[in-house]
Structure 1
Amino acid sequence: MSETETTNEEVMKEAKKASEEAHEALEEVREVEAEVQELRDEVSEEKKELEEFKNKFYYLAAEMENMKKRHDRDLQNQIKFGSEKILKNLLDVVDNLERTMMAIEKDEDDKVKNIYTGIDMVKNQFLDVLKQNGLEQVEAIGKIFDPNFHEALAQQPAEGKQDDEVIQVYQQGYSLNGRLIRAAKVVVAKN
């Protein structure tokens, strides 16, 4: 064999060896790229999962805050209006005191006048206690009829009064801490 053939053969062997090494290196690079892509996919999946947990956390935190606010509002309403039922029932007692006073108001007997004064004092004391607990009388006489606060029982002509002006109250209305618990039953002017 000549030297040229030997050199060519060696060059060919080296080229083949270099080609195989390059092919192996390319395979390794592809494997590494595949592993890198798998890791990227895993990281992307982890980020997505983390974002979902973060969103769930914020949602639950907001829901807890809303629930706390709702609970506080309900508690405040319970404090403000918890006595509504009993106060509403006590209004019947006030009504009966007022009816008693109306029945004996014009009596000329001194004993009856003293009884009237005593009942009036008890009624006023009773109303003061109710007021201390948030109960207020609804203003009616001389006011324009408002269906949010008044219940019209009748209409009647009245000189010197505006249309829909309240001219008589049959039953006093009351509100508890700004919320109407009983409308005033009234007679309204109609000209």
Structure 2
Amino acid sequence: METNPENQEEIQDQDISKEDSSKQEDTPKQEDYEKKYQELQENYIRVHADFENTKKRLEKDKYQALEYAYEKIARDLLPIVDTLEKALQSAKETSGAEGISQGLELTLDNLHKVLAKHGIEGISCSENFDPNFHDAIMQVPAEDKQDGDIVQVLQKGYKYKERVLRPAMVSIAKN
């Protein structure tokens, strides 16, 4: 069967247009590439921000670890300070132990100076009760004090820079 050359051209044009339309459907459009690029760019920005935040947090943690490096040893030294203070009080109450009390007093003063040099200091108990720095162990009647005022210090408290190593144990007034 012979085909007309015009018919043959028409058939070829139809085949070519079918191929072009199927190729256009199969290949991604420019818009798809732009969307994918935007998504990848946003992802990159998020990951980069997370990385920077993690880096800052690690720097802060490192700084705090260095800043509070003496905290553990300071806690371990507090019972020694307490023992020296009790020994000094006992030596002052004992007659004939003036030399011992002076030696204990000098030792305790030197220890307090070293602790203060490294940022460790006692918590003041002359003010009103503060739950951040004091532990109320008991309430006692005290007519000359207001409710909540510190009546007696049972154990001295200490702080290292801004952190409480050990809160002061106190008794407070109850009217």
TM range (shorter): 0.7 to 0.9
Please identify the structure whose Cα radius of gyration is greater.
1
Please state how far the C-alpha of 1:80 moved relative to its aligned partner.
2.1
CA distance in 2, matches of 1:56, 1:62: 10
TM-score of the superposition, structure 1-length normalised?
Answer: 0.75
Gaps spanning 5+ residues in structure 1: where? 1-16
2:115 to 113, 120, 130: 130
Matched, 1:87 2:71: no
Structure 1 residue 60, shift from structure 2 partner: 1.2
Q: How many residues align?
A: 172
Q: CA deviation at 1:61?
A: 0.6
For 2:46 and 2:74, the matched residues in 1 are separated by 41
Instruction: Tell whether 2:121 aligns with 1:160.
Output: no
Residue 151 (str. 1) matches residue 111 (str. 2): no
Query: In structure 2, how many angstroms separate the alpha carbons of the residues matched to 1:49 and 1:88?
Result: 57
- What is the SS of the residue equivalent to 1:54? helix
> Within 2, Cα distance between the matches of 1:166 and 1:26?
100
- What is the CA–CA distance in structure 2 between the aligned matches of 1:105 and 1:161, rounded to whole Å? 29
Distance 1:102 1:67 in 2: 52
Whole-Å Cα distance in 1 between the matches of residues 139 and 102 of structure 2? 33
Hey, what does 2:167 align to over in structure 1? 183
Q: Distance in 2 between matches of 1:92 and 1:160?
A: 32
Q: Deviations over 1:31-58 (max 9, x none)?
A: 767767766x332222222122212211
Aligned mates of 1:153, 1:32 — CA distance in 2: 89
> How far 1:155 sits from its partner (Å)?
2.0
Provide the rounded CA distance (Å) in 2 between the counterparts of 1:165 and 1:35.
87
Do 1:80 and 1:177's aligned partners in 2 also have CA atoms closer than 8 Å? no
Which structure has the highest helix share of the two? 1
Instruction: Give the secondary-structure state (helix, strand or coil) at the position aligned to 1:105.
Output: helix
- The percentage of aligned residue pairs carrying the same residue is 31
- Residue 104 of structure 1 aligns with an amino acid whose one-letter code is A
Q: Which 5+ residue runs of structure 2 have no aligned equivalent?
A: 1-5
Root mean square deviation, CA, Å: 2.7
Q: Check the 8 A contact 1:144/1:164 in 2, yes or no.
A: yes
- Partners of 1:132 and 1:29 lie apart in 2 by 88
Paired with 1:46 and 1:154, the residues of 2 have a C-alpha distance of 73
Quick one: distance in 1 between partners of 2:120 and 2:108?
A: 14
The aligned residue for residue 13 of structure 1 is none
The structural deviation recorded for 1:173 is 0.8
- State how 1:8-157 maps to structure 2 within 5 Å: 41-109=28-96, 112-141=97-126, 143-157=127-141
